[in-house]
């Protein structure tokens, strides 16, 4: 059977409307893409949007059309190079798919995800703010147990975030390779349902986190360096009822948080083997 949207390729997916398509989404079909492109070409840009573009260009660059000014183009290329490491958007293939949000933005927008997953910026690429996470396979060099990190893709981040934030279920773990995924004991499991998701709201957790950091003057209680994390004396997975108890939490830096708080008995591997009822 051929695709019913007109591209001429073999149909692989059947939609709810009963039509067959070559892709899992009709928008991905070549014929649909061409039709959408033709429609968009004939649609003029509204005057309000053009005026807003001119206003922002004048405020930012001093001209209404930066593409006609060589000096402005140089400035744009320099700022683009500082941010992404390339001077042209067409060369973004190497960083395509990486996260564009900062860690602070993720903490604010996805607080529950931030409590479950540890993040850092890639130290080998200072200034680029490339976010890294741990591989879930405890045997991997990029796992938390071995102090390793890797850079996830946007699709990996979205899948992990959606399961934690929407469902409250610990699924779609981060894996740095297909080999790590296939050899991990937890891959294919039903995942852990976090009751804390229903009992603690993002606002409550942010208030709790801010209180603990301010109480400790944003100083790590292990080494005395500036604190960025809040460590729970009793693991949230095992004792979620103490998740907002400031007497059982203290401020710490990222290194000490992993070194003293998430190793041995409280490591990801050991906690994942325990069932909570």
Q: Is residue 143 part of a domain?
A: yes
- The total number of structural domains that make up the chain: 4
Q: Is residue 74 part of a domain?
A: yes
Q: Are residues 246 and 175 in the same domain?
A: no
Kindly state the average pLDDT of the residues 140-161: 89
- Is the pLDDT at 90 greater than 60? The verdict is no
Q: Is residue 228 part of a domain?
A: yes
| First and final C-alpha spacing in the chain | 50
Distance CA 194, CA 276 (A): 9
Q: Is residue 16 part of a domain?
A: yes
Q: Which two tokens stand for residue 209?
A: 């986190």
Instruction: For residue 190, count other CB atoms closer than 10 A to its CB.
Output: 8
**Beta-carbon contacts of residue 91 (< 8 Å; ≥ 6 apart):** none
Q: Are residues 235 and 162 in the same domain?
A: no
Phi, psi of 219 (to 5 degrees): -115, 135
Distance CA 199, CA 168 (A): 11
Q: Is residue 277 part of a domain?
A: no
**pLDDT for the residue numbered 194:** 55
Q: pTM for the complete prediction?
A: 0.42
Please report how the helices 47-61 and 70-84 are oriented relative to each other, as an axis angle in degrees rounded to 10. 80
Q: Is residue 64 part of a domain?
A: yes
Instruction: Give 82's pLDDT tier (boundaries 50, 70, 90).
Output: low
Q: Are residues 109 and 186 in the same domain?
A: yes
pLDDT digits (tens, 9 = 90+) for 162-209: 888 777 777 788 999 988 888 887 777 665 555 544 456 777 778 888
Q: Are residues 107 and 186 in the same domain?
A: yes
DSSP E strands, 1-113: 13-14, 20-21
pLDDT digits (tens, 9 = 90+) for 232-265: 876 665 566 567 777 778 888 888 887 776 655 5
Instruction: Give 274's pLDDT tier (boundaries 50, 70, 90).
Output: very low
Q: Are residues 187 and 202 in the same domain?
A: no
Closest to 101 (Cα-Cα) out of 119, 75, 79: 119
Query: Is the CB of residue 176 less than 8 Å from the CB of residue 142?
Result: yes
Structural domain span for residue 140: 103-193
Closest to 220 (Cα-Cα) out of 260, 262, 268: 260
Q: Which of 166, 193, 220 is the last residue of a domain?
A: 193
């Amino acid at each position: 059977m051929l695709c019913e949207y007109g591209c001429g390729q073999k149909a692989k997916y059947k939609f709810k409307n009963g039509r067959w398509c070559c892709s899992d989404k009709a928008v991905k079909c070549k014929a649909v893409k061409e039709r959408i492109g033709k429609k968009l070409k004939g649609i003029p840009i509204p005057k309000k949007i053009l005026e807003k573009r001119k206003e922002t260009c004048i405020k930012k660059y001093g001209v209404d059309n930066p593409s006609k000014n060589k000096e402005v183009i140089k400035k744009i290329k320099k700022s683009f190079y500082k941010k992404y490491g390339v001077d042209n958007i067409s060369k973004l293939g190497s960083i395509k798919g990486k996260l564009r949000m900062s860690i602070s933005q993720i903490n604010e927008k996805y607080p529950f995800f931030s409590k479950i997953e540890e993040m850092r910026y890639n130290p080998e690429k200072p200034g680029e703010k490339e976010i890294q996470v741990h591989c879930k396979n405890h045997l991997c060099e990029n796992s938390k147990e071995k102090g390793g990190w890797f850079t996830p893709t946007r699709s990996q981040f979205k899948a992990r975030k959606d399961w934690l934030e929407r469902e409250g279920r610990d699924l779609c773990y981060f894996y740095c390779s297909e080999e790590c995924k296939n050899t991990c004991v937890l891959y294919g499991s039903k995942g852990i349902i976090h009751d804390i998701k229903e009992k603690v709201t993002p606002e409550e957790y942010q208030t709790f986190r801010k209180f603990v950091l301010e109480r400790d003057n944003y100083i790590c209680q292990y080494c005395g360096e500036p604190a960025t994390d809040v460590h729970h004396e009793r693991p949230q997975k095992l004792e979620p009822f103490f998740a907002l108890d400031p007497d059982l939490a203290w401020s710490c830096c990222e290194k000490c948080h992993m070194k003293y708080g998430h190793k041995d008995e409280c490591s990801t591997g050991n906690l994942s083997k325990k069932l909570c009822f």
